[in-house]
Amino acid sequence: MSAVAGILVAAIALLHVYILVLEMFLWTTPRAMKAFGTTPQLAEQTKVMAGNQGLYNGFLAAGLFWGLLIHSPSVQLFFLACVAVAGLYGAATANRRILFVQTVPAVLAMVAVLLAR
């Protein structure tokens, strides 16, 4: 694996750890409300749902870290594809910005992993 591919995969994993923290632990804070465009009332009403979403983002991060740890491009590609698909769905249903925060970086990392094979 090239260093560039490894850095991109690790960066996306870290992004999903950050999303996990925002969704599971900081959902009702000003930082998370600004990031997700929620109000205090909506944040409080959706706190449990956001925690569940955060857990799923943690699984994506764990899978990416696992792929790096065992040096498996196949595992990395699988979890990057999951990130990209989740980003497409989020962009289509929640906020178009998700496409550029999640899907585009995942696709770029997939290209880097494929080129490094």
Question: Domains in the chain: how many in total?
Answer: 1
pLDDT for res 111: 98
Average pLDDT over residues 77-105: 96
Q: Are 19 and 62 in contact (CB under 8 A)?
A: no
**Helix runs in the chain, H state only:** 3-24, 30-36, 40-45, 47-69, 73-93, 97-98, 104-116
Residue from 88, 87, 96 nearest 12 by CA: 87
Give the mean pLDDT of the chain. 97
How far apart, in whole angstroms, are the C-alpha atoms of residue 20 and residue 26? 9
Q: Is the pLDDT of residue 117 over 90?
A: no
Q: Which domain holds residue 27?
A: 3-116
pLDDT tens digits along 27-75? 999 999 999 999 999 999 999 999 999 999 999 999 999 999 999 999 9
Distance of CA 52 to the CA centre of its chain: 14
